Amino acid sequence: MIRTCCVFITLTQSGSLAASTLPEILESNQLRVGVINSPVTDTIGRTGYQGENIALAKGFADYLGVQITIRHFYQQDAIQQALTDNSIDIASPLVIPDTVPKGLTTGPVFQQRKQIQLSLANNTTACTQRRLNLSTQSVENALQSLGQQTKHCVIVPQRWFTRLTHLVGSDLAAHPVAEQLPHQWLLSENSTALRAALFDFSHRSRVNGSLPLALTPQEILHSLEGPLPTRRFIGHSLLHLNTIKDAFSFPGQTYPWHVLAAISYADNVLAGTQPHTEGNPLAPFIMPVSMTTPLALERPYTQPQLVQALDTYLATLSRKLPAKLQQPDKRPILLAAYALGLEHVTDAIALTQQRGADPFLWANVKQQVALLHSPDVYQNTRYGYANGPMAVRYVDWVTHFSDTLQALEGQN
């Protein structure tokens, strides 16, 4: 009889149990899922793992009534080997190889991904590639090889390309490809009952509408590139300074109102909303879906509730940072952890130590944070890919806006 319980996620990088058949998974109460840590699919965010395969895995574990352990990999060969070695029960590679490795089989097709062919604008050579070969390279490296002209064409799912446009130049031609890329998982061919359960889960999810919801692309954060909008920010804030101050002030708060207001402004910019307008000095303080803070609050949230929850969350996050961190370096490192997740800042601190620099100075740590989007760096970290350049800019924006609000208050 299938049990029903809440899904529990554990992050790990090493195999544990040796369960691969459905009865053993139910007996062990643990489903081990391998994912590729990549900006185009599944990454670790502020609230843990996020991505379409994570959403599907959570749903399947809930369907089975078991807990879930996520193990991440960086290369397709590695995730397939883990499945062969029985250290995971299901593998979610970026691309199913043309020839499925011996001893493995595929699960149901969750979706068909539209693909596009990218080539240099002046290229006249016919493209013979059908799909990306990611057995020993990352998606980022494949696109970079096109920009470096070591390849004359690359075929990628259109959804992936929209997340990696910064890796290629504007002198590229993009053409639709008739063949679509199936989104499937790999399992051991001996896991017959588990495979049947996965097909049944896929069918039920498609019927009840939860499958399209799980496969909905994550919201892409707006860029913080370009000059800081200082003049506009001052113009909007100066007219309504007291209103803004009152909205982000409450008795017993840990962080000053100008820090909380600056975070609100930067979060709204990332979400693509207009933080301030002349007629509306305070846009509703919302935490974007992609930047969600775990809040123990009942919906709908009120402005005071959200502000107090933000202050509490920052205080909790601050207590998890290394005790040796001191001001003024602690606050920018805290903001980076808020933007990316504590795990990635932990990676950056470790990288700083490895390079022989002081890991408790923001000037040193931010150099490593800025590199966490590079495959050569994040594939050698514990927690993988993170949009490090965005986090560095985020810290700059919040610091600048906070200092500006404090200066405006002093002038008044």
Map out the domains of the chain as residue ranges: 9-108+184-214, 111-182, 230-411
For range 331-356, the mean pLDDT: 95
- CATH code for the part of the protein at 9-108+184-214: 3.40.190.10
Q: What does the pLDDT look like over 348-387, one tens digit per residue? A: 999 999 999 999 999 999 999 999 999 889 999 999 999 9
Q: Which of 332, 333, 349, 335 is nearest to 383 (CA)?
A: 349
Residues 384 and 281: their CA atoms lie apart, in Å, by: 39
Q: Which of 243, 242, 239 is nearest to 278 (CA)?
A: 239
- Give the lowest-confidence range in 109-113, 138-142, 336-340: 138-142
User: In 95-198, where do the E strands start and end?
Assistant: 104-106, 111-120, 153-157, 172-183, 186-188
SS3 183: strand
For range 142-171, the mean pLDDT: 73
For range 85-107, the mean pLDDT: 91
At 19 the pLDDT is 42
- Give the lowest-confidence range in 155-164, 208-217, 284-293, 390-399: 284-293
Residues 140 and 142: their CA atoms lie apart, in Å, by: 5
At 4 the pLDDT is 35
Provide the sign of the torsion angle of the four alpha carbons 341, 137, 112, 206, taken in this order.
negative
For range 193-207, the mean pLDDT: 94
**Inter-residue contact 9 to 31 (CB < 8 Å):** no
Q: What does the pLDDT look like over 245-265, one tens digit per residue? A: 998 999 999 999 999 999 988
The pLDDT confidence band at residue 46, using thresholds 50, 70 and 90, is: confident
The pLDDT confidence band at residue 279, using thresholds 50, 70 and 90, is: very low
For range 26-30, the mean pLDDT: 93
The region, left, alpha or beta by phi > 0 then psi within -120 to 50, assigned to residue 31 is: beta
- Amino acid of residue 93: P
Percent share of the chain, pLDDT over 70: 79
Which of the pair, 75 or 138, is modelled with greater confidence? Answer: 75
Residue 8 has pLDDT above 70, yes or no: no
At 124 the pLDDT is 65
Residue 308 has pLDDT above 80, yes or no: yes
DSSP one-letter string for 238-260: HHTHHHHHHHT--TT-SS-HHHH
Percent share of the chain, pLDDT over 90: 45
Please name the residue that has the structure tokens 């690359």.
Answer: 154
